[in-house]
Structure 1
Amino acid sequence: MNALFRLGATAALALTIAAPAVAADATIRLSYGSPADPFRSNAGAMAAVFKSLVEAATDGDVEVALYPNGQLGRDTEQIDQVRSGLVDSTMASAGAIALHYPLVAVFDLPFAFPNIAVASKVMDKDSEFGQKFVADMEDKTGLKTLGMIDSGGFFAFANSKRPIATVEDMKGLAIRTMTLPSHQAMISALGAKPVPLSSTEVYTALQTGTVDGAMNPIPVMSYERYNEVQEYLSLSNHVITPTIWVMNRDFYEGLTDEQRTIVDWAAEVASDAGRGINRVIEASDTGLPLLASKMKVNAIPPEELEKFAEATQPAVRALIEEKYGAEGTAMLDALIANIDAVK
């Protein structure tokens, strides 16, 4: 994209998100990449609950303007917009966060979380590990963290070539990953080719065959309509990543004490709603049954999953140690310690 086009796009964006005609004391411009429907995605649910609670509790003095479906740009661009103050808040994938805070990679140690209950307890900004992680991320990025939840449960593999039941079945497949070196190391360790793409590019890449497949949680595959463009779904539960909700710190600190208290409370309740909708989608006809209506589904046997873990865990741990040094190792050890403490 040339500089002139980028300048024009930025100007158009500024006009698009201008404050409403009837101004409140403050307007929170909240962007996210998933659908607005609160029953289709965790971000949609979180945004709807947050908007309702904030506007009601402040008697309309603080408004929340929602920009779903990536209408303000890719997830990586939305964080840049929050940091610059063009947008006030966004709910970001780990891939987008990694460009600003690479240590989010510690969540990518394969098979680190034994079940969703443990993941929910640890993957929270107020958990023992969450407090350490958030404090460090805020210090390094200058962003305020409003919430942290799982992005939709454990990841599975979807592809258009064949069912995946063994590590050998991964060989040669071009698999879309987030822009996370840890995910790329994981896929490479399985003998497949990682192709990093933004979330807004995935459907087209799968549809056109630019990539053979992708890995994502079931709720994400559902709202991204993988069943329209992929034939096979293999349940691996190999990794689980966070959705991290951030806000421009200057904007947050510019609110009154009472408004900040309300925003913090509303974000906490909204995060619980996001966790809940993840589990609802997983358990309802809009989750796995929807995908299974058009895709061939298989569960990878436990003995084969052990081989997946043996292939991927050393690769991801080595990447964290080599790329992020003692700091990365300490953060990873803190995560594992918290997992061990609550499981």
Structure 2
Amino acid sequence: MTNNNRTPLVAAILTLSMAASVTAQANTTLRIAHLNPPEPTSSHSAAMVAVFKQLVETATSGEIQVEGYPSGQLGDDANAINQVSQGIVESSISSAGGVAEHYPRIGIFDIPFAFPNIGVATDVIDLSSDFGQQLAADMEAETSGLKVIGLLDSGGFFHFTNSQRPIESIEDMEGLRVRTMTLDTHETMINSLGGEATPISWSEVYTALQTGVADGQMNPILQTSFANFEEVQQYMTISNHLITPYVWLINDAFYEGLSEEHQKVIDWASKVAVDAGRAMSRIIEASDEGLPKLAEGMEINTLSSEQRQAFIDASQPAVLDTIESQYGEEGVALLDSLMESIEQAQ
């Protein structure tokens, strides 16, 4: 994505960035971009920014000021990551779809039904886990200007919603136009189930569902709720078919330019903030803003174990083939490490 597509806000930030050194100094500003709503009680990434801001500014006596840019103010995830890489913005909290444009091997997480429960996902998708450290090292080696300071799930397990019919079998997927991220693995999964994968950027999903450009979508309860998809979808299927990471990135040169003391603050504050983000996801899921809110506008059903197995049999081989063909030996090796980590965490 080229710099010609920058918004006026991004251009203003670029001007400020060129005028200031990225090395640590008094009143250093750390800007964090993310796509979700700004209220800490509405999204996990906003909760992370709020906690991180309070901890960093207090621990550094205000020498580092943290600013959040929610709701895609600085562009979509891929564009925000590009700005972090170039040092235009210091940090972003980004979905797998955005990360994939810079680090395609993030698609290894898209093996359908790979994670048995949220506890295992929490253990594995974490920067302190053996796999988390391996993933971060690989991502940093394969990209430019990026350092990983946090890993967590994207808000919980993915579920299907649509405007046509309840999904109770693979046959019910036939012909459904399902919005996906721009990930080959997501598109492969939907197509293998008989649906029609329809890649659409996050900012356009509501309108696409409202106008019928897409019949359905798949996301965790968290995102489905704060996006108000119950207003434009009639059916929801609790499928637990995917769980993908959110990746917290910081510009490597900015981080290295900080004093050792300030680096330590960033390290522990980001860890605490990730824990807060995970907790907020679980709280929203369990609150009236979770399933109860969605149930006011949608009919909800749950796949049985037999139905889930039919989905697994149809989709897993196809996604594995895509990973092998798209990501090569390195991707397969990383996938093997992921699956081993999942097995060990159970």
State how far apart, in whole Å, the 1-side matches of 2:184 and 2:7 are.
29
Write out per-residue CA displacement over residues 165-187 of structure 1, whole angstroms, 9 at most, x where no aligned residue: 10000000000001110000000
Q: TM-score, normalised by structure 1?
A: 0.95
CA contact (8 A) 1:75 1:198 kept: no
State how far apart, in whole Å, the 2-side matches of 1:253 and 1:137 are.
17
- Give the C-alpha shift of residue 12 in structure 1: 4.6
Partner of 1:96: 98
State how far apart, in whole Å, the 2-side matches of 1:13 and 1:197 are.
22
SS class of match (1:277): helix
Partner of 2:266: 263
Identity of aligned residues (%): 50
- Give the C-alpha shift of residue 199 in structure 1: 1.2
- Give the C-alpha shift of residue 9 in structure 1: 3.9
Partner of 1:190: 193
- Give the C-alpha shift of residue 25 in structure 1: 3.1
CA contact (8 A) 1:155 1:215 kept: yes
Partner of 1:56: 58
State how far apart, in whole Å, the 2-side matches of 1:235 and 1:181 are.
23
SS class of match (2:323): helix
CA contact (8 A) 1:150 1:243 kept: yes
- Give the C-alpha shift of residue 76 in structure 1: 1.5
State how far apart, in whole Å, the 2-side matches of 1:110 and 1:262 are.
37
Show structure 1 runs of 5+ residues with no match: none
* Structure 1 position 47 matched with structure 2 position 44: no
CA contact (8 A) 1:186 1:315 kept: yes
Q: 1:15 aligns with which of 12, 18, 32?
A: 12
CA contact (8 A) 1:158 1:231 kept: yes
Q: After superposition, where does 1:247-262 map in structure 2 within 5 Å?
A: 247-262=250-265
Moved more, 69-78 or 46-55: 69-78
Show structure 2 runs of 5+ residues with no match: 20-24
Partner of 1:332: 335
CA contact (8 A) 1:182 1:316 kept: yes
SS class of match (2:61): coil
- Give the C-alpha shift of residue 24 in structure 1: 4.3
Q: 2:165 aligns with which of 147, 162, 165?
A: 162
How many residues align? The count is 339
State how far apart, in whole Å, the 1-side matches of 2:166 and 2:304 are.
12
- Give the C-alpha shift of residue 259 in structure 1: 0.6
CA contact (8 A) 1:153 1:278 kept: yes
State how far apart, in whole Å, the 1-side matches of 2:176 and 2:294 are.
21
CA contact (8 A) 2:55 2:269 kept: yes
CA contact (8 A) 2:78 2:102 kept: no
Q: After superposition, where does 1:1-343 map in structure 2 within 5 Å?
A: 7=4, 9=6, 12-15=9-12, 18=16, 24-142=26-144, 143-343=146-346
State how far apart, in whole Å, the 1-side matches of 2:312 and 2:4 are.
46
Write out per-residue CA displacement over residues 40-90 of structure 1, whole angstroms, 9 at most, x where no aligned residue: 111010010011100000000000011111111111111111111111100
State how far apart, in whole Å, the 1-side matches of 2:326 and 2:76 are.
26
State how far apart, in whole Å, the 2-side matches of 1:291 and 1:177 are.
20
SS class of match (1:340): helix
- Give the C-alpha shift of residue 279 in structure 1: 0.5
Write out per-residue CA displacement over residues 90-125 of structure 1, whole angstroms, 9 at most, x where no aligned residue: 000000001111111111101111100000000111
SS class of match (2:41): coil
SS class of match (1:215): strand
